[in-house]
Structure 1
Amino acid sequence: MTEVDKVIAGHQLPTPDLTALPFITIDPPASQDLDQAMFLEREGGGYVVHYAIADVPSFVPAGGPLDTETRRRGQTIYTPGNRIPLHPIPLSEGAASLFANDSRSAFVWEIHLAADGTQTTAQVRRATVRSVAKLGYEQAQQMLDAGNAPAAYAETLALLAEIGTKRIELERARGGASLNVPQQEVEFVDGHYVLEFRPALPIEDWNAQISLLTGMAAAQVMLAGKVGILRTMPAPDADAIAAYRLQTVALGKPWAADIAYGEYLRTLDTADPKQLALMHGASTLFRGAGYTPFNGSIPEAVTQAAVAAPYAHATAPLRRLVDRFVLAICAALCAGEEVPGWAVEALDALPEIMSASNQLASKVDRAAIDTVEAALLSHRVGAEFDAVVLAGPRTNGHNTKASAARSSIQIQDPAVTGYCEGILEPGSVVRVKLVAADIATRTISFVPATAPATAVPTGS
């Protein structure tokens, strides 16, 4: 019997028993590693958010082989139609996953909100929960729009929209921001891969607000206890802001000096090519995110600038290593107990582990998309496409004399982003010609449709 089998076989459900509360999960339809379940209710003029997070710490003995291996991995790495899990499948997609109709151990946050959505109190404890439904985003959105959700969770869906909307308004008031760029996604459909740009549904934004609320609550608990690890990001520096302001003027939608950048980004309509370019360009303002551990004193930098508040990763322990330690620390602090030594001892090592795994995840994601793009376009070399110029110019490599300037572009059909040789105006719609698409090297190359087809292939 493996360590995982032994842990699962010997696992006991905790008290209290909260299985009478009708929790639900809302995730991509194919997801099996279900980290979060929610139950929302009214309380006087305000609300109570019950947010159950998979109880991973109880399945991973400190210092054991599984603990060591998860520290080596850092997070689940996703590829089209597959994944390299942080935890063994029997755990992450079995005993610890918050499946519908199964009693599960969880860290349950109870967060009380005022009528405007402002948090008043928050605490977390281990408990036994049972989800009554596993919903996909589109399914949940359709139920909410049609008003035909089952009675067991109709109020939770309705309150998700209500609370989510109020939390977005609070985010706007404190200067928080989100990059709502349509996501380029690879899907495996009917035996083959397809690419698409998928804008987020409203329910995804509301769902994200519950997760953000919980991450902010976790940060507050740890800061009050003077021990933990925060997800931090510095505010944009003056040079980045100045450069971006110039870009907004050049593209015809100036960013006024008295408007916070989060508020400005909410005004952008990504259906407009120029404003789509501005949304992509705003990524220059979202840099430098990392993890800040502390023990015994409050660190100087505690804010995640995009959230515009102290924030911690606390809601995805099945897929992300750091969350396991945050949950254990928060539960101990809320119970007035000593924080587990294994959690405190790991704090200094976690930033490096998470940084390495984040870099790997980004490389794998980009490689997967590049491969599918090259495969989809491999039979269309010589074809022309309409494209939106996202940014430019850029240079290929460090030797600018040996490499031509290039501009970042986006094609709608197929859903490809890449580079086109030459200096092109951001926000403009141009005609480009595909001159290379190599699956083995995961590279594609475009040139302006009027230019000679002699470009050197570049990765997209």
Structure 2
Amino acid sequence: MVLQPKGSRLELSVGFQGRRQQLPQRAIEPISPLPPGASAPERLGVFPWLFSAEDLQQAQPRPRDFAAAWLLLLEADQELCLADWVELVASSTDPVVLASCWLWLHGSQLLFRTRHQGIAARAPHDLRQLRQDRHRIALQQRRQSQWQEALQRRQPLERSSLDPRQQADLDLLIDWASGRGVGELPVELRRALQAAHCPADSGAIRHLLVDLGQWQAHHLPSLQDTCWETGFSAELEAEAQQLIERAGSALPGDDQRVDLLLQRCVTIDDADTRDIDDGLALERLPSGDLRIWIHVADPGRLVAAGSPLDLEARRRASSLYLASGILPMFPEALALGPLSLRAGQTCAAWSVGVDLDAAGAVSAYRLVRSWVRPTYRLSYEDADELIELAPPQERDLSDLHRLLGRRRDWRVARGALLMDQPEGRIRVQAGEPVLEITEPSASRLMVAEAMVLAGSVVAAHGMEHGLALPYRSQLPATLPPGAELDALPPGPVRHAALKRCLSRGHTGATPSPHFSLGLPAYVQATSPIRRYGDLLVQRQLLAQQQAGRPLEAEAVQALLTELEGPIRQGIQISREDQRHWQQVWFEAHRSGQWMAQFLRWLRPQDGLGLVHVDELAMDLAAQCPGGSEPGTALLVRVHRVDPLRDQLQLVATA
């Protein structure tokens, strides 16, 4: 009802509640004037408009009356004012009928269109199109409602049961959960997420997708669509099978290998390691001196440079180490088969024979391609027992341990830093996270020293012959004064102070000293089944020994640059995997408390520090009390953990 004019606007009383509103005059469509002498009431339902909402409903003509009026108006091809149109429909000018018809006209009907000039019948083809559009919109709304209900229920669903648009929404959610989402989600999808009480962030969306059965709880986004996830193609697997079948045949260069089959070679690895790429042996010379032999698997005997398998190994750059196991650089049947140094089998190898002087320096060495036959395979626990007991019939390991200890002392005298300590990792067994702590036992230290010795000999050989190799180096560092280090508790706290001073290692085609190893040059050369750079070392050595043409430094550097990307990606995936399983482990132990030592501040402004938890053998970030100093004793507990959100917050208290 119009109460009074307000300039170019009209003040209205709207509906049976009398809600006040002002609208422009051009937006008002008169329906019926007040009776003579009547004043404008405050609302509907009082004099002179005594009708109710029910009266309006009852006054509405029947649908067939509107349809008949549509046919008549269509044939007449004219437009009518509201009063004339209502008289055509209902044969009445009663204000209640006028109001009822006006409401119907401005509702969801399709028969008539209203314009400033009046009311006209819609053309049949327009009517059909509008009905189709309305049906399509209703169908979309129904599907959207069903989609929202499905998200709200958070029950597993079948992708095949979704229409293409819903499948596209699901793909968008998966992209966001994987961290690949770009821009904002569509408005309708955001509304659906709101209805499901799911914020539009990757962690919350992962939770939703897990409930819907569309995301594995332990899926690694960084692993998705990588060569490690897709595995090896059928063609590469077929090529690997062909090499396995050729392994027992005579191949070029086999007759030039040195026969070391009678050596008592042993391989020492973790009990679950299956690709064996190094072994140790001791040769007792007629003079009574002892010679250390480090035997390294020779994949190059079977895998030719530039072959599809070689190019795939280069694309991966290394094997990938996950909590659930290893994803190999070569197909598993090949890596675990003829490429490995298997006990009791004749195996192709590169062998480094080293004589040490009384101080532990290398007095002589041999570097040859060989045939070896590992006598037996040992776990580190087995090797520790043999080293400790040193039975007369098995003295080799004890003597090797003593010799390599001498070599270790030699490196320490030249500045090498020893920072051996227990290391904790989360492994996955039967789908569950298990804490595994690796102790720096006698056999582990012995094997590690042997690998460093082999790498230093290969580097020295490369320097002597001007050979471009992937030399691993580290810049010199200024360490804290001795008195300052001595004041720190030995072990993790002191090691953390040393590590802060060290620069990152660098790999380049020319030799350079390695500070923390105490070596003038060093090359990683003992894992060619697992690292492509080690295989490159063997190929360079072979070309040099056979008077071939080794790659020049520029070509080696270009290849190392090519390997940097996949190596960095593999490290990132491995770290993300370990971080995730750490979070899963802490989620299962969220009520636990652990004693820790403060190591250093990470972000002092946020109270974030690095602590070492002895019981877990881990360095972990935690909220630490202000004023904490290296060595401060703390108690660590879980404050918040959510693996799907990549969230772990530990709190340390004094």
**Normalised-by-shorter TM-score class:** 0.7 to 0.9
Alignment of 1:298-317 (within 5 A): 302-309=512-519, 310-317=521-528
Shift of the alpha carbon at 1:381? 4.3
Partner of 1:337: helix, strand, or coil? coil
* Aligned AA (1:102): Q
Name the CA distance, whole Å, in 1 between partners of 2:407 and 2:427. 31
Shift of the alpha carbon at 1:159? 1.8
Name the CA distance, whole Å, in 2 between partners of 1:116 and 1:352. 38
Q: Does the CA-based 8 Å contact 1:24-1:131 persist in structure 2?
A: yes
Aligned to 1:453: none
Name the CA distance, whole Å, in 1 between partners of 2:395 and 2:268. 15
Q: Does 1:405 align with 2:610?
A: no
Shift of the alpha carbon at 1:36? 0.8
Of 381-390 and 35-44, the range deviating more from structure 2: 381-390
Aligned to 1:372: 581
Unpaired runs of 5+ residues, structure 2, are 1-234
Alignment of 1:134-213 (within 5 A): 134-148=377-391, 151=393, 154-189=394-429, 192-213=432-453
The one-character-per-residue Cα deviations of 1:225-263 (angstroms, maximum 9, x if unpaired) are 11222433333444xx3xx449x738824xxxxxxxxxx
> CA 1:280–1:224 in structure 2 vs 1: closer, same or farther (change >3 Å)?
same
* Aligned AA (1:37): G
Q: Does the CA-based 8 Å contact 2:470-2:533 persist in structure 1?
A: no
TM-score of the superposition, structure 1-length normalised? 0.81
Equivalent of 1:34 in 257, 261, 276: 276
The one-character-per-residue Cα deviations of 1:273-294 (angstroms, maximum 9, x if unpaired) are xxx2121232223323121214
Aligned to 2:242: 6
> CA 1:251–1:368 in structure 2 vs 1: closer, same or farther (change >3 Å)?
farther
Q: Does 1:327 align with 2:538?
A: yes
The one-character-per-residue Cα deviations of 1:67-92 (angstroms, maximum 9, x if unpaired) are 11111111111112311111111221
Q: Does the CA-based 8 Å contact 1:418-1:445 persist in structure 2?
A: no
Name the CA distance, whole Å, in 2 between partners of 1:196 and 1:281. 25
Aligned to 2:261: 19
Name the CA distance, whole Å, in 2 between partners of 1:250 and 1:203. 28
Name the CA distance, whole Å, in 2 between partners of 1:382 and 1:322. 44
> CA 1:292–1:431 in structure 2 vs 1: closer, same or farther (change >3 Å)?
same
Shift of the alpha carbon at 1:362? 3.1
Q: Does the CA-based 8 Å contact 2:477-2:502 persist in structure 1?
A: no
Of 379-388 and 317-326, the range deviating more from structure 2: 379-388
Aligned to 2:496: 280
Structure 1 runs (4+) deviating above 6 angstroms are none
Q: Does the CA-based 8 Å contact 1:219-1:230 persist in structure 2?
A: no
Aligned to 2:484: 249
Compare relative contact order (CA 8 Å, sep 6+) and give the higher one, 1 or 2: 1
Aligned to 1:53: 296
Aligned-pair identity in percent equals 21
Shift of the alpha carbon at 1:46? 3.1
* Aligned AA (2:518): A
> CA 1:414–1:108 in structure 2 vs 1: closer, same or farther (change >3 Å)?
closer
> CA 1:228–1:157 in structure 2 vs 1: closer, same or farther (change >3 Å)?
same
Aligned to 1:290: 506
Alignment of 1:252-267 (within 5 A): 252-253=487-488
* Aligned AA (2:351): V
> CA 1:330–1:379 in structure 2 vs 1: closer, same or farther (change >3 Å)?
closer
Name the CA distance, whole Å, in 2 between partners of 1:448 and 1:116. 46
* Aligned AA (1:419): A
Shift of the alpha carbon at 1:141? 0.7
Unpaired runs of 5+ residues, structure 1, are 254-267, 271-275, 295-300, 451-460
Name the CA distance, whole Å, in 2 between partners of 1:321 and 1:108. 18
Name the CA distance, whole Å, in 2 between partners of 1:393 and 1:36. 38
Name the CA distance, whole Å, in 2 between partners of 1:447 and 1:251. 28
Name the CA distance, whole Å, in 1 between partners of 2:633 and 2:342. 46
Equivalent of 2:633 in 429, 440, 452: 429
TM-score of the superposition, structure 2-length normalised? 0.58
> CA 1:427–1:196 in structure 2 vs 1: closer, same or farther (change >3 Å)?
farther
The one-character-per-residue Cα deviations of 1:421-443 (angstroms, maximum 9, x if unpaired) are 24432211112342101111332
The one-character-per-residue Cα deviations of 1:28-78 (angstroms, maximum 9, x if unpaired) are 111111111221123325321222211111222121211111111111111
Shift of the alpha carbon at 1:125? 2.0
* Aligned AA (1:54): A
Shift of the alpha carbon at 1:110? 2.2
Q: Does 1:228 align with 2:228?
A: no
Alignment of 1:74-85 (within 5 A): 74-85=317-328
Partner of 2:337: helix, strand, or coil? helix
Q: Does 1:269 align with 2:490?
A: yes
Partner of 1:87: helix, strand, or coil? coil
Name the CA distance, whole Å, in 2 between partners of 1:436 and 1:179. 32
Q: Does the CA-based 8 Å contact 2:636-2:650 persist in structure 1?
A: yes
Shift of the alpha carbon at 1:163? 0.8
Name the CA distance, whole Å, in 2 between partners of 1:156 and 1:449. 50
* Aligned AA (2:507): Y
> CA 1:190–1:269 in structure 2 vs 1: closer, same or farther (change >3 Å)?
farther
Shift of the alpha carbon at 1:192? 2.7
How many aligned positions are there? 408
Name the CA distance, whole Å, in 2 between partners of 1:329 and 1:178. 31
When Rg is computed on C-alpha atoms for both structures, the one with the higher figure is: 2
Pick the structure with more strand per residue: 1
Aligned to 1:273: none
Q: Does the CA-based 8 Å contact 1:409-1:419 persist in structure 2?
A: yes
Name the CA distance, whole Å, in 2 between partners of 1:136 and 1:348. 37
Shift of the alpha carbon at 1:407? 0.6
> CA 1:225–1:388 in structure 2 vs 1: closer, same or farther (change >3 Å)?
same
Partner of 2:343: helix, strand, or coil? coil
Aligned to 1:256: none
- Across the aligned residues of Structure 1 and Structure 2, the Cα RMSD in angstroms comes to 2.6
Partner of 1:348: helix, strand, or coil? helix
Shift of the alpha carbon at 1:384? 4.2
